[in-house]
Structure 1
C-alpha cells in the first residue's frame, strides 16, 4: 500500500479519503481531455453567437421554464468547483505525492470550470437578449440560489468522478432532448455547444472512473454503488420547488438522469478484464436502478 492509498477518509484538512490514482494516470486523462478542445474549436459567449437573433416569442411556456431552470443549475458553478478545491487541495495541507496528484487534477478542474462558467454566461445572456428576464431581476434570482451551499456527502475520491460522470451525461442527454423541441434557432445553436461540452466532460470522468476500476478493482466498487444508490441531480435539495419544476421541464423535453446509467455500465465493462462477483453485482445494481426510473 502506498502513502497515497493510506490517506484516511476526510483526513488532512479536507483531503478526500480512499485510494487515489497515480499522478501519471491523472496526467494521461487530463491530457486526453485537453486535446479534445484545441483553440480553433473553442467557443465564447461574446463572439460565437448573434444575440440579436434571440427570440423568446418562438418558445413555449415550458421551453422558457426549461431555460430558466438550466441557467440556475449551470450558474451554481462556484459551488461545484469549490468541492474539488476543498477535497483535492493544492496547498501545504497535503504531502508532496498527494499534492502532485491534486495539481494534475487541477489542470482539468480549472478548464472544466471555465467551460461550465461559459455555459452559465451563455444561458443568462440568452435570457436577457430574448427578453425572458431583466438584468437586475436575473442577477437577484441567480444570487438567491447561488448563495445556497452545495455539497456531496462522499468520503472516497472515486465518488467525485462517478457522480459527475452520471450528471454530465444526463445533462448532455437533456440538452439534446431540449434542442429537438425548442422553437428558437439561436437557442438550438447554444444547446448544441453545451451538449458537446458536456459530452467531453463526461468522457473525462468516464476515463477517470475506468482507470480507478482498472487500477484498484473491487476496492472502489462499493463507493461507486453508494453514489448510484443515493443519486440526485445537482441542487435537487436546495432549489425551491425543485420537484415541481423538474416535472414541468420533463413535460417539455425528457429529463431522466437514469438514461446515463447504461453509460456507466459500459465504463465498468470496458475497464474490468477479470470480472469479480463484486463487479457483476455492481453492474446488476446499476441496471436495476435504471429500470426503476428517475428520482429527479
Structure 2
C-alpha cells in the first residue's frame, strides 16, 4: 500500500479539520506580547529543577521548523502528488498552518519567559537554540495514520507535563504561560485523536499494524538529537511527573471509542499498548 492510497477519505479529513478550526476561532487566540505580565516574571521563585525544565521544553518547542517540515515532505502540496492526494493534503494544510502558528507561539512565549525572568540572556539563548534547531528531525513512517498516532501521544504527553509543571511552578507568570500552552496542546491532541478514530472507522484492521509500530518504537521529539536528552529528561521527571507512556491510556480510549466492537487485531493492539505502559 502506498502513502497516497492509504490516505483518509478527504471528506473525513475535512470534517476533522473543520471541527478543529470551529473549536479554535481566531477570537480565542492569544499573543506573546500581551497575554502575560512579563514585568513580573521572576525565575528567582523557581527551583533549579524548574528552571531546567523550562530550558528543556523551550528546546522542544523551538524545533517547530523541523516538525512542520515533516508534514510538508510527507503531505506535499505540489505537483509531486496526484490530484486526489493534493486535495487531501491541501485540506490538511489548513490544520498544519494553524498548528504551526500555535506551536511557534509556544516557542516564543517560553523564550520570552526565559529572558524576562532572568534564566537566560537573549542573544545567548538565541545562539543556544540555533545549535539544536538546525539539527534534522524526521519520523520513520510510511503509513499516513502513523504521523497522527505519533502526534496524538506526543501532544497528550506534552499537555500532561505542562499541567504538572504548572502545578509546582513557583512563579505565577510561568504558571500562566504553561496553562496557555497546555490548553493549545489539548486541542491539538483532540484533532489527532479525531483523525486516528476516523482511520480506524474507515480502514479498520489495515491501520492496526502501523499504529502498533508507532508505539513499539516511540520516542519523544529530539530524543535522538538533543545533547544530554535522556539525562535531562530524567531530571525534569523529578520536577514534575514526566512519563510519556501515560499518554498511551488516551490512545486506548481512542481505540475503544472509534469502533463499536473490537476485532481480534484491535484487541491485540490494545493489549500491546497496555503492556508497554505497564513495563515503565
**Normalised TM-score (structure 1):** 0.93
In the aligned structure 2, how far is the partner of 1:18 from the partner of 1:279? Answer: 22
> 1:11 matched to which residue of 2?
none
Q: Secondary structure at the match of 2:144?
A: coil
Q: Secondary structure at the match of 2:35?
A: coil
Which of 274, 277, 280 lines up with 1:290 in the alignment?
277
Task: Could you tell me which runs of 5 or more consecutive residues in structure 1 were left unpaired when the two chains were aligned.
Answer: 1-5, 9-15
> 1:13 matched to which residue of 2?
none
Which of 124, 127, 139 lines up with 1:140 in the alignment?
127
In the aligned structure 2, how far is the partner of 1:214 from the partner of 1:96? Answer: 24
Q: Cα distance, 1:42 vs. partner?
A: 1.1
Write out aligned runs for 1:157-176 (5 A). Answer: 157-176=144-163
Write out aligned runs for 1:271-290 (5 A). Answer: 271-290=258-277
Which of 203, 208, 211 lines up with 2:198 in the alignment?
211
Q: Once the two structures are superposed, what CA deviation does each residue of 1:145-198 show, in whole Å capped at 9, x if it has no partner?
A: 001111000011000000000000000000011001010000000000000000
Q: Once the two structures are superposed, what CA deviation does each residue of 1:11-44 show, in whole Å capped at 9, x if it has no partner?
A: xxxxx45511111111100011111122332111
Q: Secondary structure at the match of 1:158?
A: helix
Aligned residues of 2:4 and 2:85 also touching (Cα < 8 A)? no
Which of 16, 34, 38 lines up with 1:51 in the alignment?
38
> 1:152 matched to which residue of 2?
139
2:238 aligned with 1:251: yes
Pairwise CA RMSD: 0.9
**Normalised TM-score (structure 2):** 0.98
Structure with greater helix share of residues: 2
In the aligned structure 1, how far is the partner of 2:196 from the partner of 2:228? Answer: 33
Count of aligned positions? 280
Which of 206, 215, 220 lines up with 1:233 in the alignment?
220
Point out 4+ residue stretches in structure 1 off by more than 4 angstroms.
none
Task: Could you tell me which runs of 5 or more consecutive residues in structure 2 were left unpaired when the two chains were aligned.
Answer: none
Q: Secondary structure at the match of 2:23?
A: coil
